[in-house]
Amino acid sequence: MKEEKAKLIVQGMKEAGVDFAVGVPDAQFIEVYKMLERSESGIRYVGAANEAEAAGICMGAWAGGKKPALVIATSGLLVATYHIARINLLHEIPLLILIPYRGDLGDPRWLGMYQKTTEPALKAMDVPYRVVRRSEDVVRTIKECHESARAWLRSAAVLFTEEALW
Amino acid sequence: MVSRYALLKKLAGVVADDTLVVACIGNTTAFWGQLKEREANLFHVTLGMCTPVAHGLALALPKRKVVALDADGNLLLNLGSLGTVANEAAKNLTIIVFDNGNYLGSHKKEPGMRTATGGKMNLAKVAEASGIDSACMVDDAEAFEQKVKAALGSNGPHVIVAKIAALDDDRPEKSRRIPDPRQNKYEFAKYIERTEGVAILGGGLGNFG
């Protein structure tokens, strides 16, 4: 991942007002995690042991007045499915979920299962989402999804494809 | 063995009004909701989420005491959360684990099936090995009360594993409705907004709200 693309993700989070992020690092988003962990991002980053735990930490942080983002991989979305479903459907708490989209058409790696699981899982959990395919749409889409999530008190996700990240 | 309800009654006697309590689903939420009707309760947190939610709350509000009322089956689903708690070192977090060593026993007249802690596993030692220095195990009401008082009066994070009876034979009379997750969310968030001066719920009115 190019550093300037990672900067766009963090810029989008900051402009959206995100002040707290929880995640589990993956290769595709590693530069984003590194930037978040550095204190100059201005966003408090917590590294969790798995994505389900990360979703729970986000829920608690929201209840304490933070504006959290859950930054996870497509695989991690599956790990956190029960927790996100419960947070979104029963508690109706807004998590902004940011996911580098592995397995979408154009991804050269053999990770096609995530094309079959990611969007259907979000739909099943009633989490609205946008797929970002161009770098120039990164910042605006993060801001829009965060604003809607907080207004609707429902979670929202942004999927970033290879074209947007590389 | 001591019961969950007996320990919750002890807790009710020592917890300050402004201490935030996150309760895992089932009888812990049901009994605590009967004992302590208060805005500072977050209920119905389940399947490995209790300690993480309390942890997120503690990190967001470092000046408020936060207590997780977790359980063995619940915590076992997310044991890694103890390592995160150790590394983040939130001084205001106390995790109480009601450990009945049992799945599905709490609503029945017969015990269900045992959890790992109903066998050889020791959650206090797991917490300690995860890096949480203040981790202990208690099995009676007096020791529980003493440990909780000490935890709430000192810097954490703390883990108190309370070994309790498999069955909840002494449940309280149901005298009030426990708020559902959405109602609970609104009440809790409004309470935090009022007492901490933060905006949580928002107006939902875009630039006008």
- Give A132-163 pLDDT, tens digit per residue: 999 999 999 999 999 999 999 999 999 999 88
Residue A165 confidence (pLDDT): 85
Q: Between chains, do B55 and A66 touch, taking CB under 8 Å as contact?
A: no
Distances (CA, A) of B66 to A47, B98, B183: 20, 16, 20
pLDDT of A100 > 50? The answer is yes
Assess A62–B contact: CB distance below 8 Å, yes or no.
yes
pLDDT of B40 > 70? The answer is yes
Cα-Cα-Cα-Cα dihedral of A120, A125, A127, A129, to 10°? -10
Residue A17 confidence (pLDDT): 94
Which residue shows structure tokens 């109706």?
A: A92
Task: Say what the ipTM of the complex is.
Answer: 0.95
Coil, helix or strand at residue B25: coil
Instruction: Give CA–CA dist A17/A133, Å, rounded.
Output: 23
pLDDT of B199 > 70? The answer is yes
Contacts of B44 in chain A (CB under 8 A): 90-91
Give the tens place of pLDDT for each residue, A50-80. 999 999 999 999 999 999 999 999 999 999 9
Residue B55 confidence (pLDDT): 98
Please tell me which residue of chain B has the smallest CA distance to A147: B206
pTM flag (> 0.90): yes
Residue B106 confidence (pLDDT): 60
Confidence band, pLDDT 50/70/90 cuts, at residue B83? very high
Q: At what angle do helices B80-88 and A51-63 cross, to 10 degrees?
A: 50
Of B149 and A28, more confident = B149
Residue A41 confidence (pLDDT): 84
Q: What is the DSSP code string of A109-121?
A: SS-THHHHHHHHH
Assess B16–A contact: CB distance below 8 Å, yes or no.
no
Confidence band, pLDDT 50/70/90 cuts, at residue B75? very high
Average pLDDT over residues B140-145: 97
* DSSP code, position B179: P
Residue B203 confidence (pLDDT): 64
Residue B205 confidence (pLDDT): 64
Instruction: Give CA–CA dist A54/B156, Å, rounded.
Output: 21
Q: Between chains, do B181 and A92 touch, taking CB under 8 Å as contact?
A: yes
Contacts of B81 in chain A (CB under 8 A): 48-49, 53, 56
Instruction: Give CA–CA dist B74/B1, Å, rounded.
Output: 21
Percentage with pLDDT > 70 across chain B: 95
Confidence band, pLDDT 50/70/90 cuts, at residue A104? confident
Secondary structure percentages of chain B, helix, strand, coil, to 5: 40, 20, 40
Give the minimum alpha-carbon distance from B42 to chain A in angstroms, rounded to a whole number.
9
Of B42, B80, B189, the CB nearest to A53: B80
Coil, helix or strand at residue B178: coil
Confidence band, pLDDT 50/70/90 cuts, at residue A11? very high
Residue B209 confidence (pLDDT): 42
